[in-house]
């Protein structure tokens, strides 16, 4: 992820006026607008992915679009999200990956995939909760899949994690649509109650 992209993304987040327009910003969000926005975006996406994984029937966890074996099944998509949440949140936290050596794409039942997903998100929740704008701009060591060491902003790694979750959710939507299941993000919203 290029520094120009990260700086542009951070700049666009700062320019987002929605929270300021409500007039109801908490002290934490006004003091930490970037980390507050990212935490809220992560939590919304996290909940959408978990609800989607719960909604998909177990018999569809082994489906893949087409016949190419290198294309992940729905279950493997769920496991992939879990793998990378453990990987990137452990690096953002500065500790050893608690899931190192376990490929969560290889578990076999819906219950196992859901447990892996929920465990990975529970681990990441603490990382996003502790994030501040100041800690997000600290440079950290990142080990890439190739083993190469790089340095980047902690927030850049967590933005990458959030973006990756969104990307995989987009893939999950295709599987759900193929089975005529309304994706979680497309479910009807409850009507807002009118004041009396």
pTM above 0.85, yes or no: no
What is the three-class DSSP state of 96?
A: coil
All structural domains of the chain with their residue ranges: 30-183
Q: What percent of the chain has pLDDT over 90?
A: 75
Identify the CATH class of 30-183: mainly alpha
- Per residue in 83-116, pLDDT tens? 999 999 999 999 999 999 999 999 999 999 999 9
Query: Per-residue pLDDT for 20 more than 70?
Result: no
Least confident of 27-36, 91-100, 178-187: 27-36
Q: Sorting pLDDT into bands at 50, 70 and 90, what band is 192?
A: low
Please name which of 82, 100, 14 lies closest in space to residue 46, comparing C-alpha atoms: 82
pLDDT at 57 over 80: yes
pLDDT at 27: 53
Across the range 25-29, mean pLDDT stands at 54
Per the CB < 8 A criterion, the answer to whether 121 and 50 are in contact is: yes
pLDDT for 56 equals 98
Q: What is the pLDDT of residue 195?
A: 57
Cα Dmax for the chain: 61
Stretch 66-87: mean pLDDT: 96
């Amino acid at each position: 992820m290029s520094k120009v992209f990260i700086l542009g993304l951070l700049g666009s987040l700062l320019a987002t006026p929605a929270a300021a327009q409500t007039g109801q910003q908490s002290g934490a969000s006004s003091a930490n607008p970037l980390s507050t926005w990212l935490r809220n975006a992560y939590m919304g996406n996290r909940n959408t992915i978990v609800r989607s994984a719960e909604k998909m029937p177990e018999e569809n966890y082994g489906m893949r679009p087409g016949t190419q074996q290198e294309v992940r099944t729905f279950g493997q998509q769920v496991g992939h999200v879990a793998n990378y949440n453990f990987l990137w949140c452990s690096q953002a936290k500065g500790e050893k990956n608690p899931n190192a050596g376990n490929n969560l794409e290889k578990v076999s039942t819906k219950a196992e995939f859901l447990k892996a997903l929920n465990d990975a998100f529970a681990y990441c929740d603490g990382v996003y909760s502790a994030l501040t704008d100041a800690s997000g701009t600290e440079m950290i060591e990142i080990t890439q899949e190739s083993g190469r060491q790089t340095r980047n902003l902690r927030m850049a790694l967590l933005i990458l994690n959030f973006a990756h979750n969104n990307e995989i959710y987009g893939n999950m939507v295709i599987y759900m649509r193929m089975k005529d299941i309304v994706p979680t993000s497309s479910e009807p919203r409850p009507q807002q109650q009118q004041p009396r």
